[in-house]
Homo-oligomer: A and B are copies of this chain.
Amino acid sequence: MNTPRLILDADRLERNASRMRSRCEELGVTLRPHLKTAKSVDVARVAAGGVQGPITVSTLAEAEYFAAAGWRDILYSTAMTAAKLARADRIQREHGARLLFVLDDEATAAAIGREAESLDARFGLLIEVDCGEHRSGAEPASAELVAIADKIRSHAPNLELMGVMTHAGHSYAFDAPEPIRALAETERRAAVESAELLRANGYPCPIVSVGSTPTALFAERLPGVTEVRAGIYLFWDLSQLSRGICADVDLAVSVLASVVGHQHRGPALILDAGALALSKDVGANRFMPEAGYGIVCDAATLAPLGPLAVTTVHQEHGNVPVPDESWFARLPVGSLVRILPNHACLTCAAYSSYDVLREGKLAGQWPRVSGW
């Protein structure tokens, strides 16, 4: 068997997807799953319970891929620039999709507005507001926000302001429910108060979009919010487990690897899963220092193999220290293990497809899209 391979447990995926759908129903909001992790039409169908509903993507390559496969309501959540508009327009025209994009300043609104006119293209957009992560976004409920909306009305007749969005990416700083719950309320207020201010200025704002998996799960209530974006909940990973956001039995993706050597100095197992197969993300280590580049598990059951973790990576080699050489008999060269990744978004990105398991048995392959 050729390894490394990316394994997706479809039973766990379905349970994860169904739980978030119930959660959003409970909260009275639309779920707009973020597909930057999965990048797969098959996963997207599971996420929405079989239908082609609203989705979020992080690249125009994803937008193109999902539009070509029939999705019609696609939010491209990385800030748009004028130079990318022609491609976005082609995606809309060729596939009959509607692209929503985001921006957060006046000059960009004007530049994109001009470009949309010259392309004779129409787009919907959301203004991004910054609920505290300080990555991007205008100040919530601010004069700046109204100025952007005014600029769109006066200088960008081809753009339709559909509302506001925010992302509490800083929810990953915590490993307890209380601060995440508080942050969910901060995120909600940033979006809702921004929408209210815009409405008071004559902009209807039918969409009020918030999201991050932790805040979606821990929010107490979301009055005023119309939709939630979340993605990692479909697969989960050690970064989320280490923060107490999911349970170990929820983890749906893993990397199947082979033991390719025994190193007596150490001692250590050498796996054929290194920096490319796992990524160099060590995000789980903040709250789970033993995670290394990934926790090593039994290939059949996905139960952790004692304390084993990948502690060093080279491009194609992963080094797994073992307590003693008795592990060499237990895991001879050629044997298989599965590795739980730190950060599923980055690990999955190295693979062109998932090997899909149902009831523990290989049940097919699902392709993924990559690149930009």
Whether B317 pairs with A135 at a CB distance below 8 angstroms is yes
| A 333-349 binary contact with B (CB < 8 Å = 1; else 0) | 11000000000011001
Whether B105 pairs with A258 at a CB distance below 8 angstroms is no
Q: How far is the CA of A263 from the CA of B79 in the complex (A)?
A: 12
Chain B residues, CB < 8 A from A351 = 371
Whether A275 pairs with B104 at a CB distance below 8 angstroms is no
Interface: A173 (CB within 8 A): no
Interface of A is mostly: loop
Chain B residues, CB < 8 A from A104 = 261
Whether B333 pairs with A107 at a CB distance below 8 angstroms is yes
By beta carbon, the residue of chain B nearest A332 is B107
Q: How far is the CA of A372 from the CA of B372 in the complex (A)?
A: 21
Closest CB in chain B relative to A53 CB, distance in Å:
22
Q: Which of B1, B84, B169, B314 contacts A169 (CB 8 A)?
A: B314
Chain B residues, CB < 8 A from A58 = 315-316
Whether B371 pairs with A314 at a CB distance below 8 angstroms is no
Whether B83 pairs with A315 at a CB distance below 8 angstroms is no
Those of A348-370 within 8 Å (CB) of chain B: 349-352, 370
Interface: A211 (CB within 8 A): no
Interface: A215 (CB within 8 A): no
In the complex, besides A2-B372, A81-B334, A169-B314, 12 extra interface pairs with C-beta distance below 8 angstroms are A2-B84, A36-B315, A78-B316, A79-B270, A80-B260, A81-B272, A104-B261, A134-B266, A135-B317, A136-B260, A136-B261, A279-B280
